[in-house]
Structures are given as structure tokens and as C-alpha cells.
Chains A and B, each alone.
Chain A
Amino acid sequence: MANSTKLIGKKMVMFMVLAILLVGCSATNTSSGNGSSASEGGDTIKVGLQAPMTGDNAQYGQDMKNGVELAFKKINSDGGINGKKLKLIVGDDKATPSEAVAVVNKMIMNNGVKAIIGGYNSSPTLAAQEVSGPAKVLHLNMGASPELSKQNNKYLFRVILTGSVYVPAVMRYMSEEKKVKKIAALFENTDYGITMYDAAKESTKELGVEFITAEKYNPGDKNFSAQLSKIKTLNADAVMVVGLYNEVALIEQQARQAGLNVQFFSPDDSMYSKQLITLGGDAVENHIFASMIDLNADTEEMNEFKKLAKENNIPAQANTAIAYDAAMALAKALTEGGGEAEKARDALANIQYNGITGPIKFDKNGDRSNTPMIMQVQKGDFVVIKESE
């Protein structure tokens, strides 16, 4: 009896310790951010990053985080925003809509962020902007889906190009330069994949090409043998893959193993990463895609970015550069806004800024109007084969 009482006592103590630990964590948590109503009392402005930090898409989130941190470091060492330092709050959206809503909620309400950079994937961004819009929080996202232009959210801006710009560019190139007629589509079964495919299908009539099949896969799938052997039997001239580098690399590798040796292309630069080549090796050689950025470009901005990245020991990836651009543009808008949400929004809407990814300015939908270039994987590097118009 005494023994068991002692045991229970021990367990109670352990429980207490755990409880105190948790409460302690939450206390530091609430003291670090004090509600949305409180203005940034100190000398910092908080900015949130909504991106996948865990799960299959975590690499994208990591690249984005690197880019934003690089930009913030530079901005803060140059004196910050009207004397205030930028502070990054990282929120993991796991590339899923409900987590995105949860984490954006937390960043806005608990941390009191003034702006959010991200997300990377279209579906989570579409869900999250429904929270950030009413809260009047600037939301600079990197989703490709044309849906993002139609949200009627004044605070939503897109720092990459929209799918409706990317897709026709690459489709025209494939039709005119590569003379393909019959295309098989293989796309991610998400807002991103579906809307990109729809946009591509729309452009087929005037180009005189056709999609002979539309195969889908779910994000995170690793086995595409079923879709690929179906495509193989249809004798397509080319395969359009809409997906991220993990999937694109695997798809092309498995296609080679299955003996499907045709031209692969993608409508946008989602797979523009050294990882594509590391994973795909020879199989991704000759892959064609439309891109808004060329990391080999010899521009002043690009060279500065690469120098900064090297100094800070950060790999200079496409997404790092785009996020860096987004952070720089945001900083400019925040400076002009002088602490007022409405003013900062107007400043961002009318911004004129020359970034690594070219001139940044937004139309009334919050989209950029730049045109993409066409790139190809050649000898393990990304080479521009057609400049942007």
C-alpha cells in the first residue's frame, strides 16, 4: 500500500512537471506576441512566413525562409523600416489548407504579424487568404493557380507569375518550336495542377494541338507506373507534367525505366531547383519549362543576391530568390506605409521596384505582368532557350 501510494505520488509529480512545462511554454508564447489589437509596441515589425516547413514540401518552405531571412538581414542592417527591425515568424502550413488557416490565424491573432509571405502551394494559400483578407494583413503569395486572381482580396498579392501567363508561353513554344501535336497531361490533383491543365487546354485550340489524356496524381505520390504505362500506349509526342520537383524527377525517371522516351515539359518553374537534377539525373535532361527567373542571369540584382547568399552560406535557389524579392518589395511598401495597414497596401499596389525577378509591379488583381522565358535542362544546368518577350 505504502509502496503504491509512493508510486502514485511519483506519477503525480511527473504530471505536475509536464503540466508546468506546458504552461511555461504557453506563457512565453503569449508574452512574445500580444494579440492583434496591440500595435507593435517595441521596435520590431513582425512578418509571418506561411510555408510548408515539414512534410514532402518542406524543402520549398526552407528555401523561402532562407530568402526572406536574407532580405530581412539586409534590411535590418540598413536601418530597418523607419527605424524598426523586421522580425520573421515562421508558420508551418504543411502544404495543406486547414493547417494553413490554423497557422495564419495564429500568426495574425497571437503574434500580430503585419504581413505574410507565402504560401507556396495554391490550395493552402486560397484557404489562408480568407483569414488574412478580413484582417487586412498583406499576403504576398507564391501560388500559381489562376484562381488566386479572382479572390477580390485587396490585400492579396502574387509575387510569381500567374498560370495564365506561364501556360500559353510554354504551349506556344512546344507547338511552334518542337512541333508537338499530341500531348499527354500528367498533373497534381490540386488547385495548382487542375487550373494549370485547364489553362493549357484553353490554349490548345488556337495552337492546333490536343491533349490526348489527362492523368492525375495526388501530392506526395511516389509511384507513377500506372499513369505512365497508360500514356506509353497512347503514343504521345510530349508529356506535360504539372508538379513540383520531387514528382517531376520521379516521373521522368520512371518514364525512362518504362521505356517512355518523349519530350517532357512543364508549364511553370515549380521544379526549378538543383534538387530536380540531383534526384532526376539523366532522366530530366532536356526538360522544358517556362520560368520567371534565371539564376545564371548576369544582372546587378542577381549578382548581389548570389553574393549575399554565399556570404550567409545559403544555397541560391529560385524560390530563395523569389522570396527574397517578395521580402524586399514588402519592406519598401511597409516603409512607405509608415505603420498604417491601408497605406502599406496602397504602397504595395503601386510599387515600382526592380528585383532579381525583374520589375515588380502589380495589376488590379494583385498579379505581376512580367512575361516568362523558356528554359531547358541541359547537361545538368538550367539554360534559357527563349528570352522573355
Chain B
Amino acid sequence: MFVDQLINGIVLGSIYALMAIGYTMVWNVLRFINFAHGEVYMGGAFVSLYLLLLDTPIWLAYIGGVCAGALLGYLMEKMVYMRMRSAPKLNLLIAAIGISIVLQNLAQYIWGATPERLTSPFLSKNIAIGDMMINQHYIFIIILTIVVMIALELFINRTLMGKAVQAASQNINATQLMGINANKIISITFAIGSAVGALAGILVGPVFLVYPTMGVFAGLKGFTASVMGGMGNIPGAMIAGLLLGIIESFAAGFISSGYRDAVAMVILLFILLVRPQGIFGKVIQQKV
């Protein structure tokens, strides 16, 4: 049972880590919680599902879903958030929640509310490791998550665009002064964060199904992970996501499965009160 829960935890944690990246990247450039990120996760999965129905090859369908997620994030930014730059953060928050209501119900309107299973080439195969059986799709999730993390790390640190995104997270206004188009950076940030979020949704689709409200709790967990890792800290978010998944699985297995979702919330509270800069964050001096 221990190993079972550990594997479940790592798989869940990979998903949370991928989700957390989206929250953290958006926080970096705009300092607000994009509550509609969970719907990007759902949207990506649905588009993949739809492409599969059209007999698209499975890899193309997955890539299509990721691209659709990126587009969704980009459009969200361009159509709503960009027009609210001067509005208080609270307004952005409400707008984000409004968008998430719209997207959830739009998905239901288009595709219906029935949960559907996304195909995975690996799902029906188990691998025996010792006397443990591990589903191949789980291994696929873990490997892909690691690949994405490395790729993202390389992008941020090795490419010019990545460095610009990083600079923007320090000070978006300064970026503008340096001659980098801030709006362009914000758009790119949304697109990348959303692409990763959509990927999370696609990976989860074969296991926990695809349905309009799938993003709600995934979003909350991803967001919790991003706070755990320290808002704005990308590697921190990844590790925190993994940690959250494992803690949650053990709590559900050994304490109570009904309160599974409460675990993340308790951790969130604990972090906020005891270490608001996150597990991996640095203390920032506030100037009076």
C-alpha cells in the first residue's frame, strides 16, 4: 500500500507541478492569480479528445491540444487581462473567475458534460518492477514531466526570450525601459504557461477522464503548489508540486479520502502563515 500510494503521489505530483508552472509564470509578470488556468488544462484535454475523434494520429492530437492551450491562454490575456492593466488586482481576479465560468460552460455546451476517456497508447499495459505493477502511462507522465521541466529550465536560462521573461519577472516596467515590449513578454508567458497546463490536462485525460469541471481542483492544487514553491519561483513550483502530490496521496490513503482535497488547503494555509515566501523562496524586505 505504501508503494502504491507513493507512485500515485508522484504521478499526481507531476500534474500539479505542471499546473503550478502556469500560475507562477503569470504571477511573475502580472502579480495576480490567474484563476482561469484550470480551464486551460481542461481546454487542452478537450481539444485533444476532439482531434482524436477526427481520427488524428495520437501524437498530433496531443500536440494540437497543447497548442490549443497556448492559444487559449494567449487569447485570455489579449482579450481580457490586457484591457485591465490599470484596474485593481481584485478586478482581475474576478474577471479570471468569470472567464473560468465561461470556459467551463462553453466546453459543456460544445462537448457535453459526459466524462470521456482520452486515449493513451500506454494505458492498457502494466510494467512489472519486482512484484510491483506500474501502469505504463504513469511512467509516461513522469518522464514527460521531467522532460518539460528540463526544457523549460533551458528556455529560461539559455535563450534570449527566456531571459527577457526572467527580467520581466523582476520588474515589468524596467523591462519596458530596456526596449523589450512588455506586452509581448506577457503574451509569451501566458502562452508557455498555458501550453504546460494544457499538457497536464492531456496527460491526466486517460486516467481521470476529461470533463468540463476537471480543471477546478487541479487548478487549486497547482496554485497551492506554486505558493508552496514560492510565488514566482519556477523550479520551486515544480518540486512543491511533486511534494504536494505525494503528501496528498498518503493523507488520502492513511487518514481519510474524503478530506483529500482539504490536505492541499491546509498546506496552503500553513505555508501562507508560516512561510509566505514559500519553501524555496527568499525573504524580501518590505520598505516602509
Contact = CB atoms under 8 A, between A and B. Distances in A.
Interface range on chain A (Cβ under 8 Å from partner): 20 to 34
A338 interface: no
Interface stretch (B54-62, B113-121, B141-149, B186-194): B113-121
Nearest to B251: A226
Interface stretch (B64-72, B77-85, B152-160, B207-215): B207-215
B175 interface: no
Nearest to B204: A222
B275 interface: no
A103 B113 CA distance: 20
Interface stretch (B1-9, B165-173, B226-234, B279-287): B1-9
Interface string A42-63: 0000000000001111110010
Given A59-B112, A225-B4, A246 B257 contact: no
B101 to A, nearest CB: 11
B249 A275 contact: no
Contact of B209 (A217, A229, A246, A282): A246
Contacts of B211: 56
A227 interface: yes
Interface string B1-34: 1001100100010000000000000000000000
B168 to A, nearest CB: 30
B258 interface: yes
A323 B214 CA distance: 29
B208 A222 contact: yes
Nearest to B255: A226
Interface in A203-256: 215-218, 220-227, 229-230, 232-233, 246, 250
A270 to B, nearest CB: 15
Interface residues of B, number: 28
Contacts of B124: 281-282
B51 interface: no
A226 B261 CA distance: 13
A279 interface: yes
B108 A58 contact: yes
B113 A258 contact: no
A230 B253 contact: yes
B209 A54 contact: no
A278 interface: yes
Contacts of B133: 257, 259
B183 interface: no
B113 A54 contact: yes
Contacts of A218: 258
A260 B249 CA distance: 18
Contact of A226 (B105, B117, B213, B253): B253
Chain B CB count within 10 A is highest, among A225, A233, A250, A259, for A225
A335 B203 CA distance: 54
Contacts of B213: 55-56, 220
A258 B142 CA distance: 17
B181 interface: no
Contacts of B105: 54
12 contacts: A54-B105, A54-B108, A58-B108, A62-B112, A221-B257, A222-B115, A222-B208, A225-B8, A232-B1, A259-B133, A279-B116, A281-B124
- The 3 A-B pairs at the shortest CB distance, nearest first, are namely A58-B113, A226-B252, A222-B208
Given A217-B258, A259-B133, 11 more contacts: A55-B113, A56-B113, A58-B113, A59-B113, A218-B258, A223-B8, A223-B252, A225-B252, A232-B1, A246-B209, A278-B116
Interface of A: 54-59, 62, 189, 215-218, 220-227, 229-230, 232-233, 246, 250, 257-259, 275, 278-279, 281-282
